[in-house]
Amino acid sequence: MVVRTGEQYLQSISNRSKVEIYVMGREVKDVTKHPFLKPSVMSFKATFDAAWEEDTKELGRAWSPYLEEEINRFNHIHRSPDDLAAKVKLLRKLSHKTGACFQRCVGWDSLNTLHIVTTMMAKKGKTEVRDRFVEYLKYVQKNDLALAGAMTDAKGIRNLKPSQQPNKNAYLRITEVTKDGIYVSGAKANITGVAATEEMVVLPTRAMGPEDKDYAVAFAIPTDTEGVKIVVGRQLNDARRMEEGEIDGLPYFYNHEGLVIFDNVFVPMNRVFLAGEWEYTGTLVEIFSAYHRQGYGGCKAGLGDVIIGASADLAKQIGVDRASHVQDKLTEMIFLTETMYSAGIAASLNAVKMCDNCWWVNPMHANVTKHLVARFPSQIAQLSIDLAGGIVGTAPSEWDLKNPKLKEYISRYLQGAEDFTAEDRLRMVRLVENVSMGVAFQIESVHGAGSPAAQRIMFSRLYDLNFAQEVAKKLAGRKSEVKFTSKAEPWRESQSEAEAKEAGLKS
Amino acid sequence: MVVRTGEQYLQSISNRSKVEIYVMGREVKDVTKHPFLKPSVMSFKATFDAAWEEDTKELGRAWSPYLEEEINRFNHIHRSPDDLAAKVKLLRKLSHKTGACFQRCVGWDSLNTLHIVTTMMAKKGKTEVRDRFVEYLKYVQKNDLALAGAMTDAKGIRNLKPSQQPNKNAYLRITEVTKDGIYVSGAKANITGVAATEEMVVLPTRAMGPEDKDYAVAFAIPTDTEGVKIVVGRQLNDARRMEEGEIDGLPYFYNHEGLVIFDNVFVPMNRVFLAGEWEYTGTLVEIFSAYHRQGYGGCKAGLGDVIIGASADLAKQIGVDRASHVQDKLTEMIFLTETMYSAGIAASLNAVKMCDNCWWVNPMHANVTKHLVARFPSQIAQLSIDLAGGIVGTAPSEWDLKNPKLKEYISRYLQGAEDFTAEDRLRMVRLVENVSMGVAFQIESVHGAGSPAAQRIMFSRLYDLNFAQEVAKKLAGRKSEVKFTSKAEPWRESQSEAEAKEAGLKS
Amino acid sequence: MVVRTGEQYLQSISNRSKVEIYVMGREVKDVTKHPFLKPSVMSFKATFDAAWEEDTKELGRAWSPYLEEEINRFNHIHRSPDDLAAKVKLLRKLSHKTGACFQRCVGWDSLNTLHIVTTMMAKKGKTEVRDRFVEYLKYVQKNDLALAGAMTDAKGIRNLKPSQQPNKNAYLRITEVTKDGIYVSGAKANITGVAATEEMVVLPTRAMGPEDKDYAVAFAIPTDTEGVKIVVGRQLNDARRMEEGEIDGLPYFYNHEGLVIFDNVFVPMNRVFLAGEWEYTGTLVEIFSAYHRQGYGGCKAGLGDVIIGASADLAKQIGVDRASHVQDKLTEMIFLTETMYSAGIAASLNAVKMCDNCWWVNPMHANVTKHLVARFPSQIAQLSIDLAGGIVGTAPSEWDLKNPKLKEYISRYLQGAEDFTAEDRLRMVRLVENVSMGVAFQIESVHGAGSPAAQRIMFSRLYDLNFAQEVAKKLAGRKSEVKFTSKAEPWRESQSEAEAKEAGLKS
Amino acid sequence: MVVRTGEQYLQSISNRSKVEIYVMGREVKDVTKHPFLKPSVMSFKATFDAAWEEDTKELGRAWSPYLEEEINRFNHIHRSPDDLAAKVKLLRKLSHKTGACFQRCVGWDSLNTLHIVTTMMAKKGKTEVRDRFVEYLKYVQKNDLALAGAMTDAKGIRNLKPSQQPNKNAYLRITEVTKDGIYVSGAKANITGVAATEEMVVLPTRAMGPEDKDYAVAFAIPTDTEGVKIVVGRQLNDARRMEEGEIDGLPYFYNHEGLVIFDNVFVPMNRVFLAGEWEYTGTLVEIFSAYHRQGYGGCKAGLGDVIIGASADLAKQIGVDRASHVQDKLTEMIFLTETMYSAGIAASLNAVKMCDNCWWVNPMHANVTKHLVARFPSQIAQLSIDLAGGIVGTAPSEWDLKNPKLKEYISRYLQGAEDFTAEDRLRMVRLVENVSMGVAFQIESVHGAGSPAAQRIMFSRLYDLNFAQEVAKKLAGRKSEVKFTSKAEPWRESQSEAEAKEAGLKS
């Protein structure tokens, strides 16, 4: 087992009788067969295939000290800055294969987050939680499971805390604790890829105070646990995938998000990692967010590559690929893409050691990465629309191209340069339409791992504005309290680093 | 007749047996019944209703000196700068009613373009063409017809002229001239709203030389003329409109573009306005483009208003409408929207008189307007996605909300502040999704009336770079040839103004 | 008299024995002789010359109904939208002649502001204030005086009102009222061109409440009134003007700002326009700001032209003027420049009638204009630096070029294409340095007529966000209170328009 | 010796009788005494002090395998990715101490460049060049010399090669070769800090062909070599430093650039590294540029910190530091600053091994870094101007503040919050003025290490556009030649890497 093939994953995921999944109001049993979900399953599958394919085999695997075996990297605990960089590099390559989000990062980041947090807890005495987590980790690694990470709550009214909400279910909460486990109710929203996973790791979505302790809950359960209902969300252009065609719904890979409803769900105690320990929620959220923000520097750069390639191809098809303004727009797209990637690489290689053999991303660089990702994809998309031409909003359907009464005309009028066919053009236009304007590139880029405002809060927190002011005062010849003694980079220690240090982990 | 009601238009458009329209490979007879086309018909209808509704009645009508009667403004020849401004103001208001492109501007701009060009031709001796056009104009005004403007050719290889194309049909061309009329073959692409129109005005898409004279052709025909085939293009999210629901496919108004195929179509001579007079093509294209670019300052500002309103509502639903970053993003959207509008207003009120009672937009301001429209909507869209939240890419379908097993859960988890329901939220999310990311706002904004590169060429042409250099040389204390004698604004005369002057029209 | 020549102004301004002006700590008597102030005087002079030069003669003059004579337009009360547009057009042309701010707009805008406000006051019974103002206006027009407008106070702590400031002098205030006049103390900061003016019009800088009534003061006095001290501010590169050279300090025209100190200054009653009437301060500030914001669409576009010309010349000097990236950058600068201008034109021609023969700018468009001006010049400057090359920060001085030991070398190494000399290049580099990075373009563009935050407040106030929300709700199929009945543009009435209406002026 | 103190450097640099330096046309003998050059010398000195100060001692030194001793890092050959990161980190810290460019990077980057290039030459047989270089390197390290790097030629007409220029001296060239050495004539322009250095390393500025071999020349000479003339360039606000004050010319540290004229200068053979080997010029330029582009991610981020601190202080002085728009603008400045830095870090840690113990920066990330630096500083500057207020362009001089007749007034009107004085405000305003608008931040950021267009050429070269197109074709379901076999990051090998590989260095 240990490193599964894509086929093994497919087989496992198609065989789930208890799972409760809804798409557009109807229950779906076999996600591998449903036209809406299949592309998403195929993207997940790509993360398994990556561990076997020539270009990604090395990046796609890692050595687990827990199993003393090679595992799929998507369930690996990062043991070095190079491990973190391997994540970003792998994600970029996987985007080339799917042109979509492959959805397995959230679970991965959740594992790494719980690894650090439970290690902190152990240092402060809660060793049993750390033990539980390690057992779970080994189970996941051993079986090479496809994990979802479930974090975002419904949230109700944004400026009220969980315990202040008029709707008590606005945040997932513990309704009962027994000797054997806990019962939870509520929902997690926007859960990436959840219908295609075997397990869910559930984490709290915000820092909480003592009054919110019923909401301070983290655990892992099988996706088909009783009481769990998954409602798959709609996406731009989704209905095309329900058509029978081959072109209009391109690409064949996609992603999905789901609303996960927990209706009095039981979680056995050996799967519970946080149940009331509100004091760890802030750190947990900060650690997770930074991990997840770093990753976007890889996957979104990879989608950028796809869009750049598609735009260049379309320019070639109509004979303008050497025009200076086309070259310039492609160059701009390259610059934007590579900027996102370089921030992701910096977040990885300039990493923070949080415990023995356990590395966190650099939180400042990780937030820079995500903030860039919240801005640049819409610029890349607009440039690709510019280069693709009006046809991206007006192209006929594949059914027109197949209609014998129209085929000849359309072939003639869609064709540009002679070595391309109308179908070549139509296929590439559809790819641009569905990737550039797709959920992964336009919306997940903005909101994934926290909306832009969340990164801005982190910039304020991490940046040492006081130091900057004292530096300026000194240069202005005013009385300044700056002391040039710190050897560190000019940032404040993050809350998570401080916690790790306090727990005796980080030196 | 003269000023039709929306209902009269609907009745007329549903009754066309000869028209040949295809949607997704299948022929459609009654466009008012087809779920894909109906929203587009409803948008067209709004231009007729506008002439009767309280807020737009004045803007929606104009007095025609040709008929000596009041007509719908969409078929009016602009007689003053105020007329031009009325266009921009009307378009903004119409966007509020439809949240979509209402598609009737292209025909309107085509009429105004032909009015100037045929007046030039008359001054140079071709009075019969001018007479034909005036007859046609009166017919259109009298019957308050819904017109398409058909300009963009298939174009083949972009850097070759029509006559150089390996594919002879890359541009629409005259295949035969008889005493009674002309025969044309080829296609026009991206023709806005064409399936919902009664007549098409066909214009050449680029400046041509003597070798291209077979391609220098302008005329008007009924949309259901024999040999005309309309293939309706696909759009982001179009398939949702084919579903039966009420929410996911919002708004109820939309627009469409079609590929119009001309298979040896006969045009009677009294409908032919250009047949080989290549020397007018450059001017014609410049005049049309500027008219059409001006208009975007109205309609896209109106869509901006819709998106601003939707974003503000969603912020209120989750209780963040007073947050400073939300206020600031709304303000930015207002600024971007009002900038597009103010350029459109300048293009109107700082207009150019081209003949007696005939005004053209200011070409510099009109190009500024469109270039802003090619940039700002994607910024507005991104801000709206930011404010709407991740839900814009993950919201469940209306069918989930209606499923009795899910309804209660979804109602609970989608709701924010208490005075809104889950359905309120879902409806507004769908509006944002379909307007912000829609074809009209994201793609037509870039490519309509010419891609960004086309405006940049006009900036170079209209701006007097030599004057600017001489000014700089003088200020630098160098020998300068600047003479401060011209009372005009610091632009070069456009080709069209020069032509009008040469024809003795413009003084 | 009435329309003075530049020479007449020069003569008048050089003859002031009582004026108290300081430059870098030293008192200056004749501003026309001082190397720091002379360029600023020359810019002022250009506004007089404009009324006599061929290209600007028409724009530079206007007909005054008060005198029934032709006057210099810079003291004219706008009687039509065309008058407002003439202002913007004139300012653009004047920038071509000076490459600098000519400083006479603030006084002009102050006159127009007081004209509307005193008309409102008259309608509410204070006819004597209106009479005083008209007398003053006639005096100014008759003698064609150079006016400063003094508005910005020292302001102390920004979030405290005048009456709350610990420093009682943070805002200019009335210290005593007598039968004959008032005594004022305090200061006005950032007063453009003040040392080169004959009169100052002093206005309050913010909306005030009843508790601030001692600070609600407006009046006009000669610049050389006893107790007035002017401290001229420093500017980037100012010290070069104190050198003796001809090149390094280019251009020969410039502008200045001064801190104006009022040390118990007496103002005779016939020059007092506001003395405690706090209820007019909000309107006064709003009216002034909008007038002044509109004007920037002209003068900054004119500076844009100068910079575009200089950049094009430098590109030509090194043989890259045909390179596509150079062309593209010039085009971008043109677009940015023309966008500012078109907003200014819209603010003028889509104007608001405030009383008989008295027009205010469109407040929304005027705020758009200024907000664009707060953003685009720094982009234009950066593009000009890009095109000018590193030399803009490293060029030798003119003294090196004149040194016989260096002259030959420098001539050789600074020269590019053969038809230019090293001096040609040096002169143009200096122009770019001093205009692109100059105070007028980089700093006044941001802060003049209110900082960017001030315009954003106006966007929120003027935009009808509630209407936009109701429109969105209707399109989303929700219950909406929108009524499509208003024929107006989709903005809220500004406070000033409401005041005018309430006073029975605006219909 | 080996690690000199700042004082030792000062002493050495003040004692040069033969050096020929001109400032504003006059010769300067002791650069440490001249008011224009002293601030620049102080910045250089900071690089020596850094090796002794607590916070930078570790970063400021490195262990040289050539000397087997500790040296100043500014003369170190990078032996690891961590060495490269240490450079970026050190530069950021040094910016905090100077608020200016410290000018020692160009020499440092030149040494590292020659190290790789001469190693390549050695592998191809030219071992004597490598030996010469190592001797020179040891001399430089041993004596801890201050080096300039001289690269940019006068260039004449940009689109002509050196040998095609009508002016034969447009590029530095070899005029004679003797047994003992070479004679060179021409000039190098924009040479940073040159007047404050002890040695110059001279490199070619562009790729050359065989016809340009007289121009393919690299060598090192003492700055006071006979025939070398240095003409120091002017800068924004430079003349203020020649005033006697303490405030208006802030900060006390600065940088300078010089035009270096070579009038038949003799270079002994043991200092010649390239003399006709044109085939290495392309690689040399590429290697140098990437090293230098990486560094900007450190120093410009450090200047960003200074500006952020100054802006925050000024906001506090007028009581608006808690205003949401102020906080948001500071956050934006932080984001922009940290983005530049993270790219620089990525360029360092994701480095390229070019030979044993010799690492080059990642060329893609390094170009991203510089391109960001060409864009973001002007945005940061504009935000700082926005926050500083209009006062940045209008503040009185320090001489006004010292004038007894004005002192009290100015103290009163410039002060904001009570715990700050007018002088506090004035000093900080001057710092913003001179750093935000300074040459280092505004102009060097654009043009240093190559203008933006140069980076864009590198993006095109390094990015594998063909791979991207094949990826897109595969996802579009078209025939694609993509093979997912390469384990590398998705870039093309740079020319320099290919050369290193071909020479048997890089494996």
Chain C interface with A: residues with Cβ < 8 Å: 324-325, 328
Residue B1: its pLDDT value, please? 62
Task: Determine phi and psi for D397, rounding to 5 degrees.
Answer: -85, 165
pLDDT < 50: residue spans in chain C: none
What is the four-CA torsion angle of C265, C271, C275, C278, rounded to 10 degrees?
-120
Task: Provide the number of CB pairs (under 8 Å) joining chain A to chain D.
Answer: 246
**Residue C430 near residue C247, CB atoms below 8 Å:** yes
Smallest CA–CA distance, residue A106 to chain D, in Å, is 23
pLDDT digits (tens, 9 = 90+) for D163-218: 999 998 899 999 999 999 999 999 999 999 999 999 999 999 999 999 999 999 99
DSSP letter (8 states) at residue B72: E
Given a cut of 90, whether residue A1 has pLDDT beyond it is no
Taking contacts as CB-CB distances below 8 angstroms, the residues of chain D near A388 are none
ipTM of the complex: 0.97
Q: Is the pLDDT of residue A500 over 80?
A: yes
Structure tokens at A224: 């088909």
Q: Which chain C residues are within 8 Å of D394, Cβ to Cβ?
A: 189-190, 233-235, 257-259, 439
So what's the pLDDT on residue D1?
62
Catalytic residue among D56, D119, D152, D192: D192
Question: Taking CB atoms and an 8 Å limit, are C444 and D393 in contact across chains?
Answer: yes
* pLDDT value at residue C169: 87
Among candidates A55, A89, A468 on the partner chain, residue whose Cβ is nearest the Cβ of D484? A55
Which residue, among A324, A329, A332, A386, would best test binding to C if mutated, counting the most C CBs under 10 Å from its CB? Answer: A324
Give strand ranges (E) for D203-314.
217-222, 228-232, 257-268, 272-275
What φ, ψ does residue B271 adopt, rounded to 5°? -110, 5
Check CB contact under 8 Å for C484 and B54. Answer: yes
Per-residue pLDDT, averaged over D297-301, amounts to 98
Residue A172: which pLDDT band, with cuts at 50, 70 and 90? very high
Distances (CA, A) of A456 to A453, A460, A498: 5, 6, 20
B325: chain D residues, CB-CB within 8 Å: 324, 328
For residues A112 and A165, is the Cβ–Cβ distance under 8 A?
no
> Please, are residues A291 and A112 in contact by the beta-carbon 8 Å criterion?
yes
In a mutagenesis test of the B interface, which of A382, A408, A439 is the best target, namely the one with the most B β-carbons within 10 Å?
Answer: A382
Chains contacting B (3+ CB pairs below 8 angstroms) = A, C, D
Q: Which residue of B has its CA nearest to C94?
A: B484
Q: How far apart, in whole angstroms, are the C-alpha atoms of residue C123 and residue D365?
A: 68
DSSP-derived pairing of the beta strands A199-202 and A217-222? antiparallel
CA distance D323 to chain B (A): 10
- Angstrom distance (rounded) from CA A469 to CA C72: 50
Provide the Cα torsion C465, C471, C477, C483; round to 10°. Answer: 120
Residues of chain A found within 8 Å of residue D430, distances taken between Cβ atoms: 476
B371 CB neighbours in chain C (<8 A) are 335, 339
Whether A259 sits inside 8 A of B396 (CB atoms) is: yes
Alpha helices in B124-275 (DSSP H): 127-143, 238-241
Question: Using CB atoms, which residue from B187, B263, B453 is nearest to A325?
Answer: B453
Check CB contact under 8 Å for D489 and A92: yes
Is B17's pLDDT higher than 90?
no
- Report the pLDDT value the prediction gives residue B115, as an integer from 0 to 100: 98
CA distance C62 to A472: 51
- The percent of residues in chain A predicted with pLDDT above 70, rounded, is 100
pLDDT single digits (tens) C72-103:
999 999 999 999 999 999 999 999 999 999 99
- The pLDDT score that the predictor gives to residue C149 is 98
Neighbours of chain C (3+ CB pairs under 8 A): A, B, D
All residues of chain B having their beta carbon less than 8 Å from the beta carbon of residue C308 are 463, 465, 468
At B142 the pLDDT is 98
Q: What average pLDDT does the structure give for chain D?
A: 96
CA A118, CA A110: separation in Å to the nearest integer? 12
Q: State whether B394 and A189 contact (CB < 8 Å).
A: yes
Interface partners of D (3+ CB pairs, < 8 Å)?
A, B, C
Residue from C42, C293, C345, C367 whose CB has the most chain B CBs within 10 Å, to mutate = C345
Instruction: Give the residue-averaged pLDDT of D134-138.
Output: 98
- CB-CB under 8 Å, B92 with C339: no
The full set of domains in chain D, from first to last, is 6-279 (2.40.110.10), 285-461 (1.20.140.10), 463-500 (no CATH)
Contact A446 B386 (CB under 8 A): yes
Instruction: Give the active site residues of B.
Output: 101, 105, 192, 257, 292, 296, 299, 444
* Cα distance between residue D327 and residue C432, in whole Å: 33
Judged by CB atoms closer than 8 Å, whether chains meet at A393 and B257 is answered as yes
Name the minimum distance, in Å, from the CA of D208 to any CA of chain C.
19
pLDDT tens-digit readout, B428-451: 999 999 999 999 999 999 999 999
Distance from CA of A8 to the nearest CA of B (A): 29
Residues A29 and A37: their CA atoms lie apart, in Å, by 11
Tell me the chain D residues in contact with residue A250 when contact means C-beta distances shorter than 8 Å: 475-477
Told to judge if D341 belongs to the known catalytic residues of this protein, a careful annotator would answer no
How far apart CA B290 and CA B73 sit, in angstroms, is 18
How many Å lie between the alpha carbon of C30 and the closest alpha carbon of chain B? 25
pLDDT at D507 over 80: no
pLDDT of residue D401: 96
Give the distance from residue B491's alpha carbon to the nearest chain A alpha carbon, in angstroms. Answer: 24
Counting one residue from chain B and one from chain D, the pairs whose CB atoms sit within 8 A come to 8
Q: Are A98 and A46 in contact (CB under 8 A)?
A: yes
Average pLDDT, chain B: 96
- What residues of A are annotated to the active site? 101, 105, 192, 257, 292, 296, 299, 444
Mutation target vs B (from A159, A259, A289, A413; most B CBs, 10 A cutoff): A413
Distance from the A469 Cα atom to the nearest Cα atom in chain B, whole angstroms: 24
pLDDT tier, B42 (very low <50, low <70, confident <90, very high otherwise) = very high
Helix, strand, or coil here: A220? strand
Whether residue D309 and residue A335 make contact (CB cut-off 8 A), yes or no, is no
Residue of A nearest to B395 (CA): A233
Q: Which residues are within 8 A (CB) of D74 and not within 5 positions of it... i.e. 6 or more apart?
A: D47, D104, D105, D107, D108, D147
A231, A240, A324: best mutation site toward chain B, by most B Cβ within 10 Å? A231
Contacts of A58 in chain D (CB under 8 A): 487
* Beta-carbon separation of A92 and D490 below 8 A: yes
Chains that touch A (3 or more CB pairs under 8 A): B, C, D
Distance from CA of A275 to the nearest CA of B (A): 22
Q: Is D471's CB within 8 Å of A58's CB?
A: no
Residue of C92, C98, C265 whose CA lies nearest to C176: C265
